């Protein structure tokens, strides 16, 4: 299976999950994949995971559990509030731009990587919320989805997040 097919299949599964679940739960499960990927990568490399790696996986998993429990997710509202969404997306875009600029100005590759990761993570989080709106539009007005803001906003946020998460920074 090619990388593009895997990404496409993942996007479809993500959309299906968002159709039936609250964004806060679905996105938390998506982040949990990081906690699973850390030790899985060491198994694939046939090396023993470091104590730091195991601790990071547990802290990430615990943080997600506390977040979901505190959020008390419900079903949410059926239609996206375009004005509220625009404000959240704009704020997230500002955070991403600031992190991106910071990554370009620091001398430390580790700090630059952290800043790029924060920017990409922010954009992926926004894209998850917008994907929920796209799924709603597809189910309720398949023709109108092409003229609405969610699909095109998702395309921009997803491409930008992918670009930032793929960017390499040398020390």
Q: What is the pLDDT of residue 31?
A: 65
Asked if residue 48 belongs to a domain, the reply is no
Model pLDDT, residue 170: 45
Tens place of pLDDT for every residue, the chain, 171 residues?
565 566 566 666 666 666 666 666 666 666 666 666 666 777 778 888 778 777 777 777 777 777 666 666 665 555 657 788 888 889 999 999 999 999 889 888 888 888 888 888 888 888 888 887 888 888 888 888 888 888 899 899 988 988 888 775 544
pTM of the model: 0.65
d(CA 128, CA 126): 5
Residue-range definition of the domain harbouring residue 144: 82-171
- Is 143 inside any structural domain? yes
Give 46's DSSP letter: T
Q: Is residue 9 part of a domain?
A: no
Q: Is residue 3 part of a domain?
A: no
Give domain status of residue 44, yes or no.
no
Q: What total number of domains does the chain contain?
A: 1
Residue 113 lies in a domain: yes
| Cα-based distances in Å from 58 to 32, 53, 55, 61 | 10, 9, 5, 5
User: Nearest Cα to 147, choosing from 157, 137, 162?
Assistant: 137
Q: Looking at the domain assignment, is residue 86 inside a domain?
A: yes
Q: Is residue 163 part of a domain?
A: yes
């Amino acid at each position: 299976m090619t990388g593009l097919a895997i990404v496409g299949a993942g996007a479809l599964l993500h959309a299906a999950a968002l159709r039936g679940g609250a964004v806060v739960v679905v996105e938390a499960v998506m982040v949990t994949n990081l906690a699973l990927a850390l030790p899985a990568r060491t198994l694939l490399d046939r090396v023993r995971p470091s104590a730091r790696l195991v601790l990071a996986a547990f802290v990430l998993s615990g943080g997600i559990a506390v977040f979901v429990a505190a959020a008390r997710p419900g079903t949410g509202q059926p239609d996206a509030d375009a004005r509220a969404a625009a404000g959240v997306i704009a704020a997230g875009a500002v955070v991403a731009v600031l992190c991106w600029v910071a990554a370009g100005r620091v001398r430390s590759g580790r700090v630059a990587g952290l800043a790029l990761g924060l920017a990409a993570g922010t954009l992926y989080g926004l894209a998850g919320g917008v994907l929920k709106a796209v799924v709603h539009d597809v189910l309720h007005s398949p023709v109108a989805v092409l003229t609405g803001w969610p699909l095109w906003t998702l395309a921009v946020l997803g491409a930008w997040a992918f670009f930032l998460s793929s960017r390499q920074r040398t020390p």
